Amino acid sequence: VSKAGGQYHWASILAPKSSTRFFSHITGSICIIAWTAVPTGAVYAAGSIFQNCFAMTHPSYEPKGWHVTLIMWALLLICTVLNTWLGMILPVLEVFIGIAHVLGFFAVLIPIIYLGPRADARSVFIQTYNLGGWRDVTLATLVGLKGTVAVFLGTDGVVHMAEEVANSSVVVPHSMLFAIAINGVLGFAMLIAFLFTAGDFQTILKSQATFPVMHILENSTKSKGASIVLSSMMAIMQACAGLGGISSGSRMLWAFSRERALPGWRWIHKLDRRTTVPFHSICIIVIAAGLIGLINIGSSIVLNIVLSLLMEAFFFSYIIPLSLLLYRRVRGDIFEPGQGSNQGLTWGPFRVKGVWGTLNNIFSLAFACIVVIFGFWPAENHPTPAKMNYSVAIFGGAIIFEMVYYFGWARKYYLGPVMEVQSVER
């Protein structure tokens, strides 16, 4: 089913009839939390890199949190204009962004390989670090998993654009797989290159740079200017991620309001008459991202705790439909097209068939559960209050609020996702 709602549409279809609305509403609410944090995290990273670039060229500069917040707002404003009034050029712009992404990969990879120091294979592939004080490397790896799986966040972004894509039931899953395959190869190559040329990790950790990659680039190229140029390219790509995050997040919000799942749904789900884009939804996502950015003025640590909810919320929104899909698979409730009753579930044109599909389902569900569980852990064993990961409390509070909101108000108006029914003349 190719719908802008994505996960909550799937949850609605796969859930038992008695709990269809409940599962779909909680999935949609969590997904909105995740997609609100995407543009915030992207422009925050871009703003922080730009600030570090400025600090590298101005030693007397004293970084302030509100400096990054202002940069975030400027980037959010640009992304808003490109998503609304200049929305007609967005598809072409995304093509150029994709080209710049690949060219930027080589622009960073080639200099660090050619100019950077060389580490031996043992230190790259065998040597391990357990700097968090955990009892063994396995546990330390699971706790540090959040940094690795972060690259998968937002993979469902194309799903929320499905209603604007021709033949989306085939194009959307293919585009997701191609994106993961291409970026997986590029990312792995970049990872190996950085590990071989990074130098001493203890020195990197002691670096004053907010992003250690900037220290690695400067150490590899032996040029502050080259490091700034390459880092700026990364910052621009982060800002472009914010652009896409606003596009997908606004469609998710628009779809959820179309189902009367949110207060003010009549106003939120309206489309702009001239551009036919969900202008109100875009504004809400951008304003929410801007308000979250205010937290950085008081404490960047608190902002990072809030943004850490991004990973837990995304993977939790995957867990619900994955669990329901496995439930349906085990029961044999999904039929081939043309088989079963007219009221039953049928497979779409894209899927993993047979036992491999079930195994893939089990692995995906188990992996998502591991990510969510260890995502709530602090980075260090026996953390101080300042280093504690409070995201579990915030996430738990969000779930409690969602339960109260659903049973107190939403279930009276929310009837589930709107489904298109094709009529056939007899």
Which domain does 97 fall in, by range?
Answer: 7-413
Q: Angle at Cα 151 formed by Cα 147 and Cα 153, nearest 5°?
A: 105
Please indicate, yes or no, if residue 420 is contained in any of the structural domains. Answer: no
Please indicate, yes or no, if residue 83 is contained in any of the structural domains. Answer: yes
Please indicate, yes or no, if residue 426 is contained in any of the structural domains. Answer: no
Whether the predicted pLDDT of 423 surpasses 60: no
Residue 334: which H helix or E strand, with range? strand 334-335
The amino acid at residue 24 is S
Pick from 104, 180, 173, 103: nearest CA to 149: 180
Please indicate, yes or no, if residue 421 is contained in any of the structural domains. Answer: no
Whether the predicted pLDDT of 2 surpasses 60: no
Q: What is the pLDDT of residue 344?
A: 76
- Residue pLDDT, tens place only, 214-269: 888 988 899 999 999 999 999 999 999 999 999 999 999 999 999 999 999 999 99
Q: What is the pLDDT of residue 420?
A: 55
Please indicate, yes or no, if residue 328 is contained in any of the structural domains. Answer: yes
Q: Which residue has the higher pLDDT, 394 or 202?
A: 394
Q: Confidence band (pLDDT; 50, 70, 90) for 63?
A: very high
Whether the predicted pLDDT of 162 surpasses 60: yes
Q: What is the pLDDT of residue 1?
A: 53
72-76, 346-350, 367-371, 405-409: segment of lowest average pLDDT: 346-350
CATH of the domain at 24: 1.20.1740.10
Alpha carbon separation from 157 to 4, 38, 342, 404 (Å, rounded) = 9, 10, 31, 28
Q: What is the pLDDT of residue 213?
A: 87
Whether the predicted pLDDT of 426 surpasses 60: no
Please indicate, yes or no, if residue 423 is contained in any of the structural domains. Answer: no
Close Cβ partners of 344 (under 8 Å, ≥ 6 residues apart): 333, 334, 335
Q: Over pLDDT 70: what percentage of the chain? A: 96
Please indicate, yes or no, if residue 72 is contained in any of the structural domains. Answer: yes
Number of domains in the chain: 1
- Residue pLDDT, tens place only, 17-53: 999 999 999 999 999 999 998 999 999 999 999 999 9
Q: Averaging pLDDT over each range in 128-132, 221-225, 319-323, 385-389, which range is the top one? A: 319-323
Pick from 413, 399, 320, 309: nearest CA to 364: 320
Please indicate, yes or no, if residue 424 is contained in any of the structural domains. Answer: no
